Structure 1
């Protein structure tokens, strides 16, 4: 999409933005879908595996709870304190994914 055929600059920019948001907003949590390429199934995509490694590198498990769903190639980072205050947060996010994306049913 960028014409660069090199995703690292775009991905690094996204991670930098996420880190900045996390530093500014103590309530911030994050989620993404590792979209399938044309030749891939939606389960455990190459993008999902790559993003998952990045999240483990840049976002501490001491501060964030990491949820990965290989079947749907989705990943959610939720701050432990937000999860403690909102125990149904994961289910709420999953419902949001289902309402937004057809293949989550």
Structure 2
């Protein structure tokens, strides 16, 4: 009897640990996804600022972010360098990232 209670406890503990690891892994993946969205949005804004593509730079950044399920929080242009901050949510928690793009110095 004591052995089956111990076995059930070990299975429950292992299951809880595994669930926590899966959640942490999923959160890390979502953070990388949002960082990639910020990169794409900053590149789109920098391309528009340089004239490589048509449109207003921050509007282009917003289009790219919204197409991937994120929202542009801020978009700042310093000549041809764009700094874009985006936000998305993961399991009702906010996830944010900032990216900068432009010509090399």
Same fold? TM cut 0.5: no
TM-score w.r.t. the length of structure 2 is 0.33
TM-score w.r.t. the length of structure 1 is 0.33
Which one has the bigger strand percentage?
2
Structure with larger Rg: 2
